Amino acid sequence: MIRSLLCLGVAALAAVLLALALGSVTIPPLGLLDVIQGEGTALHRTLLWDLRLPRTLAAFATGGLLAVAGALMQVLLRNPLADPYVLGLSGGAAVGALLAMLAGMGTLLISGSAFAGAMLATVLVFGLAHGTGSWTPSRLLLTGVVVAAGWGAVITLMLAITPSYKLPGMLYWLMGDVSYARTPWPPLIVLALSIVLVLPLARNLNVLARGPMQAAALGVSVRPLEWTIYILASLLTATAVTTAGSIGFVGLIVPHMLRLVLGNDQRIILPACALAGGTLLVLADTLARTVIAPEQLPVGVITALLGVPTFLYLLHRSR
Amino acid sequence: MSKLRTRDLVINVPGRPDGYALNMDIEPGQTWGVLGPNGAGKTTLLHTLAGLLPARSGRVMLNDTPLAQLKRRDIARQVGLVFQERQDSFPATVMETALIGRHPWLSPWESEQADDQGRAQQALALLDVDHLSNRLLNTLSGGERQRVAIATLMTQNPSAWLLDEPTNHLDLHHQVRVMRLLRKQANNGKTIFMCLHDLNLAARWCSHVLLLYTNGDACWGPADSMLKSSALEKLYNQKLITVEADGAPVFVPVSS
């Protein structure tokens, strides 16, 4: 099992190197080595250190955050098809971000507004689902789906009344775009901290996946654990959305694919999600930058186009 | 060794009057069977004894300490439960399932060691499902899954075993095998408390019996004093014929 994590780690490193080398100007492997050693041409150095490395790291962190958040939500709701996006988190974030864009605010305020929107959506869904005190997965899921539909309507309304010159930026944000990332450090730090925090809980999550009663009978304090997971997954999603807009499918597909291959031990799945989610988004972002270079595609389109067929194939093969 | 005692316990069956409060002493070495019609509150009682449901009034004591004052983890080391219904939303193998029984015994950073693996392997063998240990749970038959659930409890190794209809889905041979296993565990000092629908299994293997009526009435005591056909006919609202076979009474429902 450690070996599969090592493999994923090597794959992640390879993906990062590929992302650093490829782009509108391709840096050959030797050039890459030169730049890492502090030599190389000024162009290569600028490309690597100022442009590609921050963007690649941001993509890696975002992908990792989304995949881990997805895996946590799936255990919480005991539904392998749950996803932070299904619960309306991205909708709230999108409304926040679009409001900031409509008001003509800068990137930092857009990020802040998106984060606030995601957290508002979390509180809203949780508050509504909690309602009379019973908090069942199906109720949480349904509340999330309905609230997400509500956010969708608000987004459409906002797009309809927006002056057309502002529309492209908004659409790119809605489809997810890593070029919004200013610095990769906040999401990277959040990702690393969350893995450290969640690993000692991983065996509890294995038991929780068997249902809350069984978990309680095996000594798990179910309610505090569920709260922790919900808040953590929300924070991870909010951080990811704030970094790179709303990117779908990573949180759904990466944990599911890993489960089909590695089984459902969260002690393996959670770190594997961080690595594989990061790798997937780095590759998707590299494609998005290069496929019609110098033009760029929103990375969310790529993750959906890559993710959906892969998911269907794995599902088809598994039974 | 764990002693479970109920003091003026009224279980919380929604919309039912309080009925008769339970004052049972469930001792190590005893094998209890709970009999009653559908909806009498057998499962609710089991969950209340495990501390998973709050009682309407009264207390459950585990070795002189009220259950409500104990941490979940400490309860799980002493009291284990086989549920009647199980969720398996995610695929898991038989071995992984048995190993979650070790959960209350491991600290957050610990993982299962060879000793834990050995216990799980041994439990699976005793329940005759060791040859399935790499199979996915959702590919097993109902009876095989039931045996895996009992093996999981055995791997957990609490001193009090609560079982909700442990012979559900089992073929005749495995019903007897499971009942013998439970009786043997009781002889080794475990406390066994289970819900049953089969009067004859209760008559054969239980040392004590609790009769739970739909209206909340209850009576309990040594099995031979409880298993009287008049009481059982009233319990199930069903006429019975009693015959004797293999040293135990056998109850057969009258067809008319």
B94 interfaces chain A, CB cutoff of 8 Å: no
pLDDT at A156: 92
- Inter-chain CB proximity A219 and B50 less than 8 Å: no
Tell me if B163 sits within 8 A of B19, measured CB to CB: no
The interface pTM score, or ipTM, of the predicted complex is: 0.92
Cis peptide before A294 (omega within 30 of 0): yes
Record: contact B90-A221, CB cut-off 8 A = no
| Residues forming a β-bridge with B194 | B33, B163
Residue B6 has what pLDDT?
Answer: 96
Of B83, B90, B109, the CB nearest to A209: B90
A98, two tokens: 């679009």
Nearest-Cα residue of chain B relative to residue A200: B108
Give the nearest partner residue to A207 out of B77, B91, B103, using CB atoms.
B103
Q: Considering only CB atoms, which chain A residues are within 8 Å of B88?
A: 210
Q: Which of A203, A214, A263 sits opposite B83 (nearest CB)?
A: A214
Which pLDDT band, with edges at 50, 70 and 90, does A201 fall under?
Answer: very high
**Nearest-CA residue of chain A relative to B161?**
A217
- pLDDT, residue A135, reads 65
- How far apart, in Å, are the Cα atoms of A86 and each of A17, A80, A169, A241? 33, 12, 24, 14
Number of CB atoms found within 10 A of residue B24's CB: 20
Chain A, nearest residue to B162 by Cα: A217
What pLDDT, in 10s, does the model give residues A115-126? 889 889 888 887
Which pTM does this prediction carry?
0.90
| In the predicted structure, residue A319 carries a pLDDT above the cut 60 | no
**CA–CA dist A213, B103 (Å, integer):** 14
Residues 6+ apart with CB under 8 A from B210: B22, B24, B32, B33, B34, B35, B218, B219, B220, B226
Closest CA to B203 of B255, B245, B160: B245
Q: Are B53 and B81 in contact (CB under 8 A)?
A: no
CB < 8 Å to A80, chain B: 89-90
- For chain B, which ranges sit under pLDDT 50? none
pLDDT at A134: 59
Mean of pLDDT over chain B: 93
Q: Does B54 touch chain A (CB under 8 A)?
A: no
Q: How many domains does chain A have?
A: 1
Query: Please, which pLDDT band fits residue A131 given cuts at 50, 70 and 90?
Result: low
Q: Is the pLDDT of residue A247 over 80?
A: yes
Cβ neighbourhood burial of A55 (10 Å; 0-12, 13-18, 19+): buried
Do β-strands B57-62 and B31-35 pair in parallel, antiparallel, or remain unpaired?
Answer: unpaired
Output the CA–CA distances (angstroms, integers) from residue A69 to A33, A66, A104, A180, A298, in the order listed.
Answer: 35, 5, 31, 21, 21
Nearest CA in chain B to A207: B100
In which domain, by residue range, is A155 found?
Answer: 2-318
Rounded to the nearest angstrom, the minimum Cα separation between B134 and chain A is: 12
Do B72 and A263 make contact, defined as CB atoms within 8 angstroms?
no
A61 has pLDDT over 60: yes
Longest CA span, chain B: 61
Among A82-91, A180-189, A259-268, B36-45, top mean pLDDT goes to: B36-45
**Confidence at residue A318, expressed as pLDDT on a 0 to 100 scale:** 62
Q: Which of B79, B93, B100, B109 to mutate to test the interface with A (most CBs of A within 10 A)?
A: B100
Chain A residue numbers touching B156 (CB-CB < 8 A): 218
Give the CATH number of the domain where residue A74 resides.
1.10.3470.10
Q: What is the pLDDT of residues A86-105, one digit of tens each?
A: 778 888 988 998 899 888 88
B87–chain A Cβ distance below 8 A for any pair:
yes
Helix (H) or strand (E) holding B185: helix B172-187
**Mean pLDDT value of segment A269-297:** 90
Tell me whether residues A219 and B76 touch, CB distance under 8 A: yes
Interface test with chain A among B79, B81, B103, B161, by most A beta carbons within 10 Å:
B103
Which tokens sit at A254? 């990466």
Nearest CA in chain A to B83: A214
- Residues of chain A in contact with residue B87, where contact means CB-CB under 8 angstroms, are 78, 210-211, 214
Among chain A, residues having any CB pair with chain B shorter than 8 Å are: 75, 78-80, 200-201, 203-204, 206-207, 209-211, 213-214, 216-221, 259, 263-265, 267
pLDDT in the model for residue B130:
94
Q: Where are the alpha helices (DSSP H) in A161-249?
A: 167-175, 185-198, 202-208, 212-217, 222-244
Q: Choosing among A196, A206, A210, which should be mutated to test the B contact, i.e. which has the most B CBs within 10 A?
A: A210
The answer to whether the CB atoms of A80 and B77 lie below 8 A apart is no
User: What pLDDT is stored for residue A216 in this prediction?
Assistant: 95
Query: For residue A225, what are the CA distances in angstroms to A54, A127, B43, B50, B101?
Result: 34, 17, 25, 19, 19
Residues in chain B within 8 Å Cβ distance of A264: 90-92, 96
Residue among A211, A218, A264 whose CB faces B87 most closely: A211
CATH number for the segment(s) B4-223: 3.40.50.300
The CA-atom distances, in angstroms, between B172 and each of A49, B64, B181, B199 are: 72, 39, 14, 14
**Mutation for testing the B interface, residue in A218, A261, A270, A315 having most B CBs under 10 Å:** A218
Report residue A133's pLDDT band, with 50, 70 and 90 as the boundaries: low
